[in-house]
A and B are shown apart, each in its own frame.
Chain A
Amino acid sequence: MSTVVLLTLTGLGLAALYFLIASGLSLVFGLAGVLNFAHGLFLSIGAYVTWSVVGSWGLLPAILLGVAAAAATGALVELVLIRPLYTRHTEQVLVTVGLSLAGVALLQSVWGADARVFPRPAWASEVIGIAGAQVPADRFLLIGAAVVVLLGLLAFLRYTRYGLIIRAGVENRAMVSALGIDVRNAFTLVFAIGGALAGLAGILGGMYFSAISPGQGASLLIFAFIVVVIGGLGSVAGAAGAAVAVGLLQQFVNYYGTAGAGDVSVVVLLAAVLLLRPTGLAGKVATA
């Protein structure tokens, strides 16, 4: 029983990370039609900026600065690189691919290729006993952050004017433009939001793995892609559901099966979902 509780909470912690990355990806894809390979870069920037100022500023301001830096990077990438290629989706994907290669190399040259030990608040290193299981507290930090983000994002999308424009844009972008609303500002906004969430994911991921490395974003990104496709492109709630399914499946199968079987089973789940339901669990058609 205690093993199941521990595995569940660890799986949910992983799911929280996936969700933070995938929700931004999903919004960016749903609205702007850009499959963003540079999302892993936003994640790493958030983590590294936090890491470099945490010594002098303290943890909370460092986290805020990291998130802000990642959001600024996202907005900047949209303004400078994505916007000139509007409607040319393949070129947009190619540019983000190039950016992900160059960006990781740039991070490596600034901070070195080796993993860095990432600081975490003292209480996150403690262990909490639940139903006989000894659960590290950082799991709750991740889950809590993801839940707050999920609720905040849903409220933002539902109750604000920009949220309305984004939802409408995901549904039918041409119609929103036809109504006289400049969707491109919303593009910049979702890139900034996606960047901020990815940066947060990078920081929390640094605390979870207690280390950061330039390539970390890329390996998390692939599972985030899987989550986005399973959840349905453009759907935040779908991404949340899919993240939980993927995180739990991965943890449980990795524990009870042989090493690596969990990762394989996630891909099998992806193939099954796409074959049975090409649009994902919720969201618009996954073609084009």
Chain B
Amino acid sequence: MTTQPSVPPAAPAAILPEAPASGSVPSRATPSPSAAGQLRRRLTPLLLLVIAASLPWSTLDIPGLFDGPLNSPGTLQLLALCLVFGGLALGYDLLFGRSGLLSFGHALYIAAGAYGVDILVSHYGWPLWRAALVTVLAAALLALLLGSVALRTSGIAFSMVTLAFAQVGHIVISRDPGGLTGGEEGLPLASAGLPGFLVGVSNTVNLYWLALAFLTVVVLVVHTVDRSPLGRTLTGLRDDERRIAVLGLSPYRLKLLVFVLAGGLAGLGGVTYALVVGGASPHVASSELTLSLIVMAVLGGAGTRWGAVFGGILYAYLDQRLARLGGTLPGPFAEPLFVLGTLFILAVYFVPGGLTGLGARLEPLRRALRPRRD
């Protein structure tokens, strides 16, 4: 064993002599990322979660970014809304970025969640938890029902059918059937039916934590799916549906499964949204909301681990802040959607992988600029 000058020192077999020998097939061809890197990947989200959860105790005042100190109700409400949209965008990315299903009707399931819980609590006086549970299940059921029809088509036709279904939802909600939805005015959530800790300005902090919990749930669900065999199958579905079919799997059933899952998450998001905003308005059922979800996912990086979350938070923040700053900006910049739409178009052209992919794209540049060590 003296004649091995050509073997590179980084060959996986050479550096992993103590790997479990039970499996005869080498588990992966490429060397695994370093233990420190993996630890950092695991710990960073946890650390962010801890920071986000403890934010309400901070009285830090960031003048440019927020109107009041971090623990003021206004700032917490804004942050809660950002977190809700982060979760909604990630839930949508389960369809769009991960499975390649360009649904234009995702707002329908969000609206089902928001209006469902609102109607059950405000009109029928249900306790919140029961109403929320039933609403989320109903949203998933609605997704099952409509998805089983819409998924018989694919490509653009699928987008159109989902768009049309959602449009029906928007029309029904705007027409105020039986005085249930409050029509164009929307339906404020009756605070009498809510548990005390969610009512009142001083309890905004609880809404913030609720929104954070929702985002955490979505992240856990979506990342579990990502890691599971289902996640890989979905990626396969996105890249080459025929191949999945040839492998003996049913694309239709898989797509329906992920559609229902995304519908349920959207329903949960709708419930959280209604609680944070204190009611539901026809805007949550509009195609505009679905379009903005697409913008969020693409802006942050569709199909990446954190892209949609980041995009959702950024979009919601800019939308709120620009609306607030509206009067002070000149011309079309006073319209938040003009700024966001333009930003989005620029992102599609110049940042195809989304903002979270920017780091990886700049890596060669950084490496070139870094002084050589040896």
Stretch at the interface among B79-87, B260-268, B327-335: B327-335
Return the chain B residue nearest A106 by Cβ.
B332
Q: Which of A84, A110, A222, A286 contacts B163 (CB 8 A)?
A: A222
Contacts of B349 in A (CB 8 A): 84-85, 95
B153 close to A101 (CB less than 8 A): no
> Could you count the A-B residue pairs with CB atoms below 8 Å apart for me: how many are there?
127
B345 close to A81 (CB less than 8 A): yes
**What 0/1 readout, one digit per residue, does chain B (201-219) give for beta carbons within 8 Å of chain A?**
0000000000000000000
B337 close to A278 (CB less than 8 A): no
Q: State the majority secondary structure of interface residues on A.
A: helix
Does B340 interact with chain A (Cβ within 8 Å)? yes
A98-B348, A274-B152 given; A90·B171 CB < 8 A: no
Which parts of B286-307 form the interface with A (CB within 8 Å)?
287-288, 291-292, 294-295, 298
Which parts of A185-234 form the interface with B (CB within 8 Å)?
218, 222, 225-226, 228-229, 233
A93-B102, A260-B171, A264-B172 given; A101·B340 CB < 8 A: yes
Q: Which of A81, A85, A102, A228 contacts B337 (CB 8 A)?
A: A102
A263-B167, A288-B155 given; A102·B334 CB < 8 A: no
Candidate in A37, A93, A104, A222 with the most chain B CB atoms within 10 angstroms:
A222
Contacts of B152 in A (CB 8 A): 274-275, 278
Return the chain A residue nearest B164 by Cβ.
A267
Return the chain A residue nearest B335 by Cβ.
A105
Contacts of A286 in B (CB 8 A): 153, 155-157
**What 0/1 readout, one digit per residue, does chain B (334-369) give for beta carbons within 8 Å of chain A?**
111110111011001100100000000000000000
For the complex with contacts A286-B156, A288-B155, 7 further pairs of A-B residues with Cβ separation under 8 Å are A85-B348, A91-B348, A97-B295, A99-B341, A100-B291, A101-B340, A103-B341
**Interface positions of A (Cβ within 8 A of B):** 29, 35, 37, 81, 84-85, 90-91, 93-95, 97-106, 108-110, 218, 222, 225-226, 228-229, 233, 259-260, 263-264, 266-267, 270-271, 274-275, 278, 286-288
7 A-B pairs closest in CB distance: A102-B341, A101-B341, A105-B338, A105-B335, A105-B337, A98-B344, A286-B157
**Interface positions of B (Cβ within 8 A of A):** 102, 149, 152-157, 159-161, 163-165, 167-168, 171-172, 175, 287-288, 291-292, 294-295, 298, 331-332, 334-338, 340-342, 344-345, 348-349, 352
